[in-house]
């Protein structure tokens, strides 16, 4: 892939350049020292992937990501000195459309201190978007609930990728503290960032948000977030589990794998929601939920940071409704309130 580097520290730029040029599969397209320069360069020469720092002069990586995704979208991974110290900025960048985040490799020991992690991220993105994306716009990639014999609590199952943290915050902030459905979220995010994402989302909503533990039971009032490199699935009608399979998925955890396990095991009512993200993960699983009579929602094009996953769902006719982001939370609340009255 042709990869651009955006960082104001020369040592960081050189460390990333060494990691990328250490393999014949990738080349450095260009480098920029701040967000303003990156936006201008991307408009003239769009790469396959941008490695974007978040703390820079003139224009930070969050605003640069937002402008690039609005005008010349391409895959972006946040690479910053310490992700744990910059959670807020990282999640803001992911909300603007960045796919993932990783610590900056160290120049003296790029293989031991971050080079391997960075290269793994690059390889994952390569599988997700393909290697011939340099001049393709990502924006182009991009009922009544059925009765059940077993009346468990309703389940809201949500899948998201690029742009997901901000989208999730928008939805969860509109849900009341007494929201009567259990909620489970699969967001494409590195496992080491999941606890920070749960804490951050918990500040946006009256609901409790935490990382899912093996054997957890979804319950009203709590939002469970996938939190390991393995796939989150229902192992039984009431209990969640993690599994390594399927092994071939480009993203772990997989939204498709989760949605399909919901359709197989959950005996109550389901609302499936597929949000902004690159690729097609979740579209087939959402279709399976709809085919079983469950209500399904896909985010619309204009409110999606990256219109890939919800676009794929729309093409499969997997969504009962296609809604703007700010309409999804109120819709979930209204559906549950109406069901409670009935």
Catalytic residues: 161, 188, 281
Q: Please report how the helices 283-291 and 255-265 are oriented relative to each other, as an axis angle in degrees rounded to 10.
A: 20
Which strand (E) or helix (H) includes residue 317? none
- Partners of 187 in the β-ladder: 160
CA-based max dimension of the chain: 65
Residue 121's CB: how many other CB atoms inside 10 A?
20
**DSSP H or E segment with residue 5:** strand 2-6
Strand order of the β-sheet with 49-52 is: 27-32, 2-6, 49-52, 75-80, 100-103
Q: Using CB atoms within 10 A of its CB, is residue 140 exposed (0-12), middle (13-18) or buried (19+)?
A: exposed
Q: Which two tokens stand for residue 10?
A: 């020369």
For residue 247, the tally of other CB atoms under 10 A from its CB is 7
Do residues 137 and 71 touch, judged by C-beta distance below 8 A? no
């Amino acid at each position: 892939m042709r990869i651009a580097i955006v960082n104001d520290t020369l040592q960081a730029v050189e460390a990333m350049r060494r990691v990328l040029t250490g393999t014949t599969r990738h080349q450095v397209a260009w480098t920029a020292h701040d967000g303003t320069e990156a936006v201008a360069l991307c408009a003239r020469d769009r790469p396959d992937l941008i490695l974007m720092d978040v703390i820079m002069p003139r224009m930070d990586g969050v605003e640069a990501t937002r402008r690039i995704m609005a005008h010349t979208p391409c895959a972006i991974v946040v690479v910053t000195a310490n992700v744990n110290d910059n959670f807020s900025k990282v999640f803001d960048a992911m909300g603007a459309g960045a796919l993932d985040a990783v610590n900056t490799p160290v120049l003296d020991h790029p293989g031991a201190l971050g080079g391997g992690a960075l290269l793994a991220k690059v390889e994952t993105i390569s599988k997700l978007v393909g290697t011939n994306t340099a001049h393709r716009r990502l924006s182009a990639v991009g009922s009544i609930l059925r009765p059940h014999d077993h009346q468990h609590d309703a389940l809201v199952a949500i899948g998201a990728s690029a742009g997901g943290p901000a989208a999730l915050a928008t939805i969860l902030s509109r849900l009341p503290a007494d929201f009567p459905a259990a909620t489970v979220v699969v967001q494409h995010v590195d496992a080491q960032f999941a606890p920070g994402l749960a804490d951050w989302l918990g500040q946006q909503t009256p609901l409790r948000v935490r990382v899912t533990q093996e054997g957890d039971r979804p319950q009203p009032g709590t939002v469970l977030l996938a939190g390991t490199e393995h796939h989150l699935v229902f192992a039984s009608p009431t209990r969640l589990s993690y599994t390594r399979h399927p092994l071939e998925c480009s993203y772990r955890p997989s939204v498709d794998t989760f949605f399909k396990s919901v359709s197989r095991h959950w005996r109550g009512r389901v609302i499936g929601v597929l949000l902004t993200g690159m690729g097609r993960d979740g579209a087939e699983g959402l279709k399976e939920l709809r085919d079983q009579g469950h209500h399904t929602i896909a985010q619309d094009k204009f409110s999606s940071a990256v219109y890939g996953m919800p676009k794929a769902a729309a093409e499969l006719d997997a969504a009962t409704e296609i809604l703007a982001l700010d309409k999804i939370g109120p819709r979930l609340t209204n559906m549950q309130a109406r069901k409670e009255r009935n």
